[in-house]
């Protein structure tokens, strides 16, 4: 499925999210889960458009999003992909278009994937240093905060950055890379030696 913008329409942050949510609700109303993957692409003219792939059970035909009013900013082109791996590879191998993506635009996403698939996808997209420490069958997830005891013994939530957790052992690992901004040069990445401060045991 290809979603394009008509002349005069511009990209907004939740455009693709609304379409994905509608298909999720459509499948749920029929008692099925609809796995979806999507990718953003630029045309040679520099305009954003999306490619979506939906997996539907035999006998179900998903509605066209423009005819349903789910995609109101342009038109869609839908077709059956009987060889989905070849279809995805075709767009993954295409060169970039012209221009730049709008700030804040996500390049790809997924929804409705089974837990086992989500675990593998997250591990595949994780940093190389983490994948060398955690086996794929364990899976990983980001750690965004932790609970610490404050100065007067009160518990408080503390934001974390660069931390990941092994989903099976619950061991947490901090990235060994530190980013420093150097005026006139840019961002410099350096790798710190591993210490006890980089690992939290459950």
pLDDT reading at 96 higher than 60: no
Coil/strand/helix, residue 51: strand
pLDDT reading at 94 higher than 90: no
List the helix and strand counts (H, then E) for the chain: 5, 11
Q: What is the DSSP pairing of strand 48-54 with strand 177-182?
A: unpaired
Could you read off the pLDDT of 101-139 as tens digits, one per residue? 888 888 888 888 888 888 888 898 899 999 999 999 999
Question: Which helix (H) or strand (E) element contains residue 182?
Answer: strand 177-182
Beta bridge partners of residue 74, listed in sequence order: 5
Say if residue 120 is exposed, middle or buried (CB neighbours under 10 Å; 0-12, 13-18, 19+): middle
Q: What gap in Å lies between CA 193 and CA 62, rounded to an integer? A: 52
What pTM was estimated for this model as a whole? 0.68
Structure tokens at 148: 């610490």
> Is-contact 19 73, C-beta < 8 A?
no
CA pseudo-torsion sign 115, 117, 118, 122: positive
First to last CA, the chain: 44
Could you read off the pLDDT of 131-184 as tens digits, one per residue? 999 999 999 998 887 776 667 777 777 677 889 999 999 999 999 998 888 888
* DSSP characters over 71-105: --SEEEE----SSHHHHHHHHHSSPP-SS-PPTT-
> Is-contact 110 120, C-beta < 8 A?
no
């Amino acid at each position: 499925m290809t979603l394009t913008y008509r002349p005069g329409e511009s990209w907004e942050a939740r455009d693709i999210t609304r379409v994905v949510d509608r298909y999720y609700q459509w499948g749920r109303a029929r008692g099925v889960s609809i796995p979806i993957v999507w990718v953003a692409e630029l045309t040679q003219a520099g305009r954003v458009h999306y490619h979506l792939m939906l997996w539907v059970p035999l006998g179900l035909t998903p509605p066209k999003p423009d005819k349903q009013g789910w995609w109101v900013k342009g038109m869609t082109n839908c077709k059956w992909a009987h060889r989905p791996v070849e279809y995805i590879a075709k767009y993954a191998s295409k060169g970039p278009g012209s221009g730049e993506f709008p700030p804040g635009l996500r390049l790809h996403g997924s929804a409705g994937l089974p837990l086992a698939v989500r675990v593998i996808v997250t591990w595949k997209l994780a940093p190389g240093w983490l994948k060398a420490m955690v086996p794929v069958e364990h899976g990983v997830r980001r750690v965004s905060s932790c609970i610490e005891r404050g100065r007067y013994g009160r518990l408080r939530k503390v934001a974390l950055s660069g931390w990941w957790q092994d989903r099976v052992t619950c061991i947490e690992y901090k990235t060994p890379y530190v980013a420093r901004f150097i005026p006139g040069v840019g961002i410099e990445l350096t790798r710190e030696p591993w210490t006890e401060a980089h690992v939290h045991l459950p």
